[in-house]
């Protein structure tokens, strides 16, 4: 007899990341006990588990009494100088003493007034426009901020976590390089994450060059998160469901249809549980045979479930984009739909952040999984599909 399905969130174990986590733990011990800093960059595709790995580092850093300062690249503001460090500075204001907070406020007011509103939104004071040369002002700000963070670490060891480096602005990367060159003798562990397949949001950012420069430092490590194997996928499955007895056929299909990407595995399992394919029988989690589940166990049904949360305009954008294939450019989609390009790109950026259906690529954008493009193509009416393909051909011909 089936028990009622519970809607609790699945909490899979961190699988296939033991070596990377162990190396990060070693670096954390070094910074906490021996005031020896290092740099660790973690590369991996969307859904590979970078954020989950960072969350483990944060949990252990706090247990050690190490300050955790985190910032994230913003694809919608790739040109905001030091935008990557906004979150870091917000965290710094929480950890720092009154004198340090005063120094930072004065520094922002004098050299980086564009950061005043994001950092001090409730302040009645507004800094006067500086009269210094902008390039000189930025150079001074980067130097002083770097010195401030390094000096602060002598009072309290810190982990500086910078996620989504592929969306970092040039000034942020410049500051990162300055810190990386000096943190070996400081109590700062720098952890950065990025997606190698994503093109930088700012045209003048070369993240590959930054990684190459870091390779010169003996205190630098580069971790790459690969997709999970069949055996590792099996462990993820059983870690999500205590007291379970699933068929091996389910495990094989799960691995094949998610490609071993951890995020996709968990999303698909959540869908299967919602649909009753996975259920409890006398306290044991089991699965219905595939034929009883109404067709192949695949990501197709999971995507259909996710589509319900999209607006009609968002579905139309993705369907039109799918006519170009797995990878697509924004301009033909904007032309086919009659949208201004800037508005379409903004909507695609929102879809990337909130749904993870698409991500940035060398061409512009691509679907997070090849199957997504095929499914969205099928959803588009034939007449509209021909119209999108015609507009795409016209755009390509005009560019020749």
Mean pLDDT by 10 residues, the chain (400 residues): 46 88 94 92 90 92 94 81 93 90 92 90 76 86 94 92 91 94 91 82 71 92 94 94 91 88 86 86 88 46 66 87 84 86 89 78 73 75 63 57
C-alpha distance from residue 271 to each of 73, 263, 268, 338, 371 (Å): 30, 13, 5, 35, 16
* Tokens found for residue 54: 């960072």
Looking at residue 163, its pLDDT comes to 93
Looking at residue 5, its pLDDT comes to 38
Looking at residue 308, its pLDDT comes to 67
Residue 322 CB-density burial (10 A; 0-12 exposed, 13-18 middle, 19+ buried)? buried
Looking at residue 393, its pLDDT comes to 61
Query: Distance between CA atoms of 137 and 62, rounded to whole angstroms?
Result: 35
Of 286, 211, 274, the C-alpha closest to 243 is 286
pTM above 0.85, yes or no: no
CATH tag, 18-224 = 3.40.50.300
Looking at residue 379, its pLDDT comes to 73
C-alpha distance from residue 49 to each of 12, 224, 262 (Å): 11, 11, 6
So what's the architecture of 309-399 in CATH?
Orthogonal Bundle (1.10)
Looking at residue 389, its pLDDT comes to 63
């Amino acid at each position: 007899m089936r028990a009622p399905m519970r809607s609790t969130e699945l909490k899979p174990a961190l699988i296939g990341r033991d070596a990377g986590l162990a190396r990060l733990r070693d670096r954390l011990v070094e910074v906490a006990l021996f005031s020896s800093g290092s740099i660790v960059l973690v590369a991996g595709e969307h859904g590979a588990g970078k954020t989950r790995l960072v969350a483990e580092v944060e949990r252990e850093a706090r247990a050690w009494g190490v300050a955790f300062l985190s910032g994230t690249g913003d694809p919608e503001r790739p040109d905001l100088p030091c935008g990557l460090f906004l979150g870091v500075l917000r965290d710094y204001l929480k950890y720092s003493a009154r004198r340090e907070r005063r120094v930072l406020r004065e520094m922002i007011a004098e050299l980086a007034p564009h950061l005043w509103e994001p950092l001090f939104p409730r302040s009645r004071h507004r800094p006067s426009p500086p009269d210094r040369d902008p390039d000189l002002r930025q150079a001074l700000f980067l130097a002083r901020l770097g010195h401030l963070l390094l000096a602060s670490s002598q009072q309290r060891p810190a982990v500086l976590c910078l996620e989504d480096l592929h969306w970092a602005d040039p000034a942020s990367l410049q500051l990162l390089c300055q810190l990386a060159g000096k943190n070996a003798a400081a109590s700062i562990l720098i952890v950065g994450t990025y997606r190698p397949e994503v093109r930088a949001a700012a045209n003048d950012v070369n993240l590959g060059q930054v990684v190459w420069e870091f390779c010169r430092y003996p205190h630098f490590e580069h971790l790459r998160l690969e997709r999970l194997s069949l055996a590792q996928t099996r462990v993820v499955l059983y870690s999500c469901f205590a007291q379970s007895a699933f068929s091996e056929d389910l495990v094989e299909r799960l691995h094949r249809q998610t490609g071993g990407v951890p995020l996709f595995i968990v999303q698909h399992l959540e869908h299967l549980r919602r649909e009753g394919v996975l259920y409890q029988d006398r306290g044991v989690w089991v699965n219905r045979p595939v034929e009883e589940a109404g067709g192949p166990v695949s990501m197709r049904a999971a995507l259909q479930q996710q589509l319900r949360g999209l607006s009609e305009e968002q579905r139309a954008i993705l369907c039109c984009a799918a006519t170009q294939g797995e990878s697509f450019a924004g301009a033909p989609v904007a032309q086919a739909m009659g949208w201004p390009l800037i508005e379409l790109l903004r909507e695609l950026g929102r879809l990337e952040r909130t749904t993870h259906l698409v991500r940035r690529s060398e061409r512009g954008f691509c679907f997070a999984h090849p199957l997504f493009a095929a499914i969205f193509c099928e959803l588009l009416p034939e007449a509209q599909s021909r119209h999108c393909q015609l507009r795409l051909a016209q755009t390509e011909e005009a560019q020749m």
